[in-house]
Structure 1
């Protein structure tokens, strides 16, 4: 009984337009946006809702959700972030498997100018992404279908733009280098949110210069820090949110290998559910900028004679 009431409420909260159905998590913010662009959290929520429809065998009403979700995919079949891609592909797969008839066989013909291509979708390849590269951009693209079942057709168009638009930073990320020597240094990073309110879950990725490793225990206890890990030459920190007040972290780094003439390393702060909301800065320990091979490795060939 309660699940039925919840399902009815879920349906009432959906947004419907042009035969497509989805859910907005932050309705007020989305209504204020000047451009039509879905947020990862909306894609994630809609994917979970599609799974709900599938679990109740509501494939007819779920068709509009499938259309909207499919329209959010990029040209490679994924979505915006890792999580919304994983959940959305699972939801679409469950829908396709549950909705396809036993005698599923659809033949598609695409006509683009002088080019005519044919694609067949059946039970053997229904879950496989098939793609066609056109030799030129036609003035008109015609798609016709025959058979039993349904197929999703997407068109991807690539072009260059002169400007990326508003490049204002969402986060302010600053760095301070302490105890800077050729064999070690302490890096302090501070980040705060520049827009209204706090961010959602954030991920800070700190590159560690080649030849060094970070001591994660030196970070101490930081409010809002959920996880801290080190892998592939970088430290990754997961925060519940980043607000107007700076969130700071110290990392002590020590030399593990002989590497000279290190290049600048980079730090990025990204809103997990809005990957476009990100800021990248660089840092470069002063001692490493000026270090020579012989300063780092006095015993190396050709160095002993110079001392």
Structure 2
């Protein structure tokens, strides 16, 4: 049988038609395939296939062909008429790409193949993140929306792989996974902790491999006052405490301190005491010394020889009382909360000023992401005999923007059951190898003070360790490096006992 294949191609509203008929007639068999002539990269595209008046059992195959690659989109075997529509995922392209839609129809006595071109255009949407205001105070609710638009700024429905909220130190405090926009807009909210850290926060939205971010500020107004280093890429807690303490000392050492001066100083003190850790110190030795000196001077200026206060801490199932009077005003009082997850209120009654602090301790996984400072450590030595000496090798590297760092601290936590000998950090004359400035060893820790680290020049050191007690299921230990003045610039790593 001689087949006279006729076909027609039409473009209507970016819709392509592929029509095949036999002998130029519509008595059958014939088929029609429709699909967009232009498709956006990575989008869901619709394809419809119809087979009409088959006169035998036929198989229809539809392929998307690009070069030597061929992707089967549809395979349908039929003896009767059918009409099917389905969505397929358009391939990802970085530039405009013309590919072919190939249709094959085959039976015992009938076989035909037709191809038509289809263009895939790169999909480059624009995504915006907006917050309802640029500055928030701790305890407020952050309302934000994420909108994705095409190149003509028409809004699109979009699925976001992850949306995260990070605080001023890069800690992830909020996360939404696999969320989609509703009527083109994704809206979410997050309630800040009343004790939220101040500084610049960042919202990030991830679409595939793309990341979009938006910054906003968390700032305390009114009763708190402090200063921080200007022009710094990242605020330093230690420097902010130290600078603010020097300002407080300047205010309180004036020739005559007025009541207004004390009110101004109280705003600085209120901020300083919020920065104290659970042990009464601050970020580093330097800022702790200056801050405690300033706070002590303030205490002498507001000293009163009489009065007392009672502090009451309440929750649904817990009540704690603290009495502060002239007999115990220098006594540190501490009580443990019985229920960790609860809402607590603090009430103070009396005529004296008291400082109240709540501390929560918890374990967190060791971060693996290094900042400008990085550290790596490993042990080596003979594992055959117990009690042998082992070498702990550690390498510190700085790859920041400055030529060299401030003083750098390496805090080494020893493996359980091990002791350390730091003599390998010294030269033959007994002095420390540069840039080692000082070494402190106590119990299970070794603290190494490095005068500075030069940019992109790793420094390698060794200390000798000895296993004095065998410990089953020995866990790794943490070695930490941080800038003495920029303590936020830090990195941690775990090291293992290689004989374990």
Which interval holds the TM-score relative to the shorter structure? 0.5 to 0.7
Task: Quote the offset at 1:68 in angstroms.
Answer: 0.1
Task: Quote the offset at 1:107 in angstroms.
Answer: 3.5
Deviates further, 259-268 or 61-70 = 259-268
Give the whole-Å Cα distance in 2 for the aligned partners of 1:187 and 1:131.
39
Give the whole-Å Cα distance in 2 for the aligned partners of 1:146 and 1:187.
56
Give the whole-Å Cα distance in 2 for the aligned partners of 1:232 and 1:160.
22
Question: Normalising by the residue count of structure 2, what TM-score does the alignment of the two structures yield?
Answer: 0.42
Task: Quote the offset at 1:169 in angstroms.
Answer: 1.5
Cα displacement string for residues 135-175 of structure 1 (whole angstroms, at most 9, x for unaligned residues):
4455462514232x32233344x4869x7696411333346
Question: Relative contact order (C-alpha < 8 Å, sep 6+): which is higher?
Answer: 1
SS of equivalent to 1:151? coil
Structure 1 position 74 matched with structure 2 position 277: yes
1:298 — aligned with what? Answer: none
1:245 — aligned with what? Answer: 456
5 Å-filtered alignment, 1:125-204, equals 125-136=328-339, 139=343, 141-147=345-351, 149-156=352-359, 158=360, 167-170=368-371, 171-174=373-376, 189-197=394-402, 198-204=404-410
Provide the alpha-carbon RMSD of the alignment. 4.4
Task: Quote the offset at 1:50 in angstroms.
Answer: 2.5
More strand by share: 2
Residues 211 and 258 of structure 1 are in contact (CA less than 8 Å); yes or no, is this contact kept in structure 2? Answer: no
Structure 1 position 270 matched with structure 2 position 475: no
Task: Quote the offset at 1:234 in angstroms.
Answer: 6.5
Q: Does the C-alpha gap of structure 1 residues 244 and 283 become closer, same or farther in structure 2, counting only changes over 3 Å?
A: farther
Which one of the candidate residues 232, 252, 257 is aligned to 1:54?
Answer: 252
1:226 — aligned with what? Answer: 437
Residues 406 and 484 of structure 2 are in contact (CA less than 8 Å); yes or no, is this contact kept in structure 1? Answer: yes
Residues 313 and 345 of structure 2 are in contact (CA less than 8 Å); yes or no, is this contact kept in structure 1? Answer: yes
More helix by share: 1
Residues 316 and 343 of structure 2 are in contact (CA less than 8 Å); yes or no, is this contact kept in structure 1? Answer: yes
Residues 186 and 250 of structure 1 are in contact (CA less than 8 Å); yes or no, is this contact kept in structure 2? Answer: no
Cα displacement string for residues 25-59 of structure 1 (whole angstroms, at most 9, x for unaligned residues):
245434xx7xxxx6122223323332333333443
Task: Quote the offset at 1:113 in angstroms.
Answer: 4.1
Q: Does the C-alpha gap of structure 1 residues 233 and 135 become closer, same or farther in structure 2, counting only changes over 3 Å?
A: closer
SS of equivalent to 1:217? coil
Give the whole-Å Cα distance in 1 for the aligned partners of 2:226 and 2:389.
51
SS of equivalent to 1:22? coil
Higher-Rg member (1/2): 2
Residues 16 and 22 of structure 1 are in contact (CA less than 8 Å); yes or no, is this contact kept in structure 2? Answer: no
Task: Quote the offset at 1:186 in angstroms.
Answer: 6.8
Residues 478 and 492 of structure 2 are in contact (CA less than 8 Å); yes or no, is this contact kept in structure 1? Answer: no
Give the whole-Å Cα distance in 1 for the aligned partners of 2:377 and 2:367.
24
Cα displacement string for residues 260-292 of structure 1 (whole angstroms, at most 9, x for unaligned residues):
9798876542322316713234375x7xx49xx
Residues 309 and 348 of structure 2 are in contact (CA less than 8 Å); yes or no, is this contact kept in structure 1? Answer: no
Task: Quote the offset at 1:201 in angstroms.
Answer: 1.6
Q: Does the C-alpha gap of structure 1 residues 123 and 224 become closer, same or farther in structure 2, counting only changes over 3 Å?
A: same
Deviates further, 164-173 or 63-72 = 164-173
Q: How many residues align?
A: 262
1:45 — aligned with what? Answer: 243
Residues 224 and 239 of structure 1 are in contact (CA less than 8 Å); yes or no, is this contact kept in structure 2? Answer: yes
SS of equivalent to 1:204? strand
Q: Does the C-alpha gap of structure 1 residues 280 and 63 become closer, same or farther in structure 2, counting only changes over 3 Å?
A: same
Q: Does the C-alpha gap of structure 1 residues 204 and 165 become closer, same or farther in structure 2, counting only changes over 3 Å?
A: closer
Q: Does the C-alpha gap of structure 1 residues 251 and 99 become closer, same or farther in structure 2, counting only changes over 3 Å?
A: same
Which one of the candidate residues 95, 98, 112 is aligned to 2:301?
Answer: 98
SS of equivalent to 2:265? helix
SS of equivalent to 2:233? helix
Residues 226 and 268 of structure 2 are in contact (CA less than 8 Å); yes or no, is this contact kept in structure 1? Answer: yes
Consecutive unaligned residues of structure 1, counting only runs of 5 or more, are 1-14, 291-307
2:427 — aligned with what? Answer: 217
Q: Does the C-alpha gap of structure 1 residues 174 and 130 become closer, same or farther in structure 2, counting only changes over 3 Å?
A: closer
Give the whole-Å Cα distance in 1 for the aligned partners of 2:329 and 2:278.
18
Consecutive unaligned residues of structure 2, counting only runs of 5 or more, are 1-218
Give the whole-Å Cα distance in 2 for the aligned partners of 1:113 and 1:260.
47
